[in-house]
Amino acid sequence: MSSPTVSYIPAPKATNPAPRCSGGTHPNTPAGIALYNDQISKWHTDNGTRGPNETRPYPLSPGSSPVASDECWKCGRTGHVGPSCTQTSAPGLEVRWRMIATSIKKGALATAPQVNLVGEERQWTSKEEYDASVIAAYIADQQGKEDGPSA
Ligand SMILES: [Zn+2]
């Protein structure tokens, strides 16, 4: 008896949100700050009360580091982490976006699946849900093998 044919497609490449947003950091000069303030106004006009995410990256403070660059989320500078930060805090939404971007980057590096079943369009809302789903699929697969014809 032959095994059923199962087709696999490669998983989408893990995306690092940093490159898409790194161009948004303006120099910490009067001109850079003016451009930044324009970006902030536009972001709030475009997004209203919706929070930042990878498709609506929040503008970064002039002179700060790109997101997901191991920077301090509070002030956006590298070289230290939040608890030891003595700098002025960036806007709350920028802090939130830095946290989100870092978690996206870490998640993409740590949990990128190697293969996806064709037709799999499920979206997971959390890593826990994703892990539970993978485990359930693995158990189902193992049970299927036990029930099938043995060599
Ligand atoms: Zn800091």
Q: What are the tens digits of pLDDT across the range 86-109? A: 999 999 999 999 999 999 888 877
**Cα 30 to averaged position of ligand 1 atoms, centre (Å):** 22
Lowest mean pLDDT: which of 3-7, 71-75, 127-131?
3-7
**Cα 122 to averaged position of ligand 1 atoms, centre (Å):** 37
DSSP 91: P
**Cα 18 to averaged position of ligand 1 atoms, centre (Å):** 18
Q: What is the mean pLDDT of residues 74-82?
A: 90
Measured CA to CA, the distance from residue 113 to residue 12 in angstroms comes to 9
**Cα 95 to averaged position of ligand 1 atoms, centre (Å):** 10
**Cα 63 to averaged position of ligand 1 atoms, centre (Å):** 13
